[in-house]
Amino acid sequence: MAAAVPAAGLPALSGRASAAPAAGALPGGGDLGPNVLVFGPATPNIQGTLDEIFKRQESAQFGEGRFALLFKPGTYRGLNAQIGFYTSIAGLGLSSGDTTFHGDVTVDAGWFNGNATQNFWRSAENLTLHPVNGTNRWAVAQAAPFRRMHIKGGLNLAPDGYGWASGGYIADSRIDGTVGPYSQQQWYTRDSSVGGWTNAVWNMVFSGVEGAPAQSFPDPPYTTLDTTPVSREKPFLYLDGADYKVFLPEKRTNARGTTWGSGTPRGESLPLGQFYVAKPGVDAATLNAALAQGLNLLLTPGIYHLDRAVEVRRPNTVVLGLGYPTLVPDNGATAMKVADVDGVRLAGFLIDAGPVNSATLLEVGPEGASADHAANPTTVQDVFIRIGGAGPGKATTSIVINSNHTLIDHTWVWRADHGDGVGWETNRADYGVRVNGDDVLATGLFVEHFNKHDVEWRGERGRTVFFQNEKAYDAPNQAAIQNGDIKGYAAYKIADGVTTHEGWGLGSYCYYNVDPTIRQDHGFQAPAKPGVQLHHLLVVSLGGKGQYEHVINSIGAPTSGTSTVPSTVVSYP
């Protein structure tokens, strides 16, 4: 795949360049390239530019275009920013109130006949919206984060006509009015404030959300935690006068509500000059040289082919993507490896498996990592994995977390079920996420369609708040998924030796459309130990295409028939 074609005639960013580097050194800062579009209140024809980008990206699910739409602080009137594939929209203020739209940021599903279940890979951040009709529409599926947004009105998470939808994720946001998920199958909201919440389908999870509905799973299926155990918001680009900086929010424990509700968010800023601004076409050797030089990485929109791993070895390194930059490991390489160091922040990019099998795609910490990172963990936020769909791809294990205390805050790890290069062996990928480190926390874990276990948790004291899964659609027959004497591989397996683990709001669905007679023993597998506790579990057979015998281990009623009604377990054990 080639790099995205620059948008002819569209405004590009030219930020202040940093001082000249030493001889032979790579420069920090500089221009962000043609696919980062920066607007000010006086920019002419903003709506026309937004419409042109949307026209390119509306149905380009596996296309090569990548765009970041950035708005300087100020007030904008009469805009409807429709957001398509691989498009990020964000304000450039330090707080969401610095950039205000009297208008909308819209995701709908007209391109797919009103079905929003494939509205992936797009985002909105750091804006205040006054929706034109009082309610903003954000009808998305996976990998479409909504962060640090303030809606002066309501938020509708369903497409026009209330067709199918399968999202989604909100964090550090305030919705003054009511959030209406309507047809959304599942949703996770973290550290936010809502004026109300109406309706639920299968699995609605809240942690640290002011105004969240009371816990009531399974009817209605609300899982509500008063606080989030540990959180640290995603880094973001902003303007300080005429200078671009990256803000790094501080870690919070037992968090509740937004980081910005009582003034300027707490954290630290890094000038753009401390970042190597990467452009599509740069190779892994150059990225590694920049990291070795002490620079952070800012990945601008586009597709990056890597012949070896990007090696993040320095504590507190930031790797931040704009506009869904996509890393493609060639010849079986691992895309990125992180050392067992404090405070690395990975955020805002997509790893797309290459046609030669990679043993892993992302490794956080080497095998046997043992350092304590409780005070300053590594965070993996809006980092998405894809195997197949844009073409053949293979990876044995997508993400391996070896470092203790790592925070996984919103990921979608997806073995493709549609697109190009899709088939039981064509895009073979046995395991989605494997956690070996201790004290790892996942908030918003979406992992789907792997040939074996989607999540395999081996570390102690792991915690997951919200898990969404579908088993692989394309298993050819019962024998293909047989796991010893167990029918099917559990979507979420806690290893037999683990003594302490806890999870809240976990769902697994099956849609075995190649062989609808397939039976899956359970969606979840866990050792029977007092310290292993799971709350609010469900399994669903979609239209009767395959069935679950139980929810977890041998506990929970089987799914049956074609009614698509969940089987639930309120508490395990």
Cα separations (Å) of 188 from 78, 83, 151, 224, 384?
30, 21, 17, 10, 16
Other beta carbons less than 10 A from residue 286's beta carbon? 13
User: What single-letter DSSP state applies at residue 212?
Assistant: P
Please state, in angstroms and rounded to a whole number, the distance separating the CA atoms of residues 50 and 45.
Answer: 9
Nearest one of 56, 183, 50 to 116, comparing CA atoms: 183
The residue type of 474 is: D
Q: Which residues contact 80 (CB under 8 A, 6 or more apart)?
A: 47, 50, 103, 104, 106, 132
Bridge partner residues of 352 (DSSP): 386
Cα separations (Å) of 461 from 116, 189, 373, 374, 490?
36, 23, 14, 13, 20
Q: Identify the residue whose tokens are 């601004």.
A: 277
Please state, in angstroms and rounded to a whole number, the distance separating the CA atoms of residues 496 and 553.
Answer: 12
pLDDT score for 24 = 75
Other beta carbons less than 10 A from residue 32's beta carbon? 25
pLDDT in tens, the chain (573 residues): 333 333 334 544 434 444 445 667 999 999 999 999 999 999 999 999 999 999 999 999 999 999 999 999 999 999 999 999 999 999 999 999 999 999 999 999 999 999 999 999 999 999 999 999 999 999 999 999 999 999 999 999 999 999 999 989 999 999 999 999 999 999 999 999 999 999 999 999 999 999 999 999 999 999 999 999 999 999 999 999 999 999 999 999 999 999 998 877 899 999 999 999 999 999 999 999 999 999 999 999 999 999 999 999 999 999 999 999 999 999 999 999 999 999 999 999 999 999 999 999 999 999 999 999 999 999 999 999 999 999 999 999 999 999 999 999 999 999 999 999 999 999 999 999 999 999 999 999 999 999 999 999 999 999 999 999 999 999 999 999 999 999 999 999 999 999 999 999 999 999 999 999 999 999 999 999 999 999 999 999 999 999 999 999 999 999 999 999 999 999 999
Please state, in angstroms and rounded to a whole number, the distance separating the CA atoms of residues 564 and 542.
Answer: 5
470 is an active site residue:
yes
User: What single-letter DSSP state applies at residue 479?
Assistant: G
Three-state SS at 282: coil
**DSSP structure string for 296-347:** EEEE-SSEEEESS-EEE-STT-EEEESS--EEEE-TT--SEEE-S-S--EEE
Three-state SS at 231: strand
For 109-129, give one letter per residue: b (16+ CB within 10 A) or e: bebbebbbbbbbbbbbbbbbb
Question: Of the residues 233, 448, 456, 470, which is catalytic?
Answer: 470
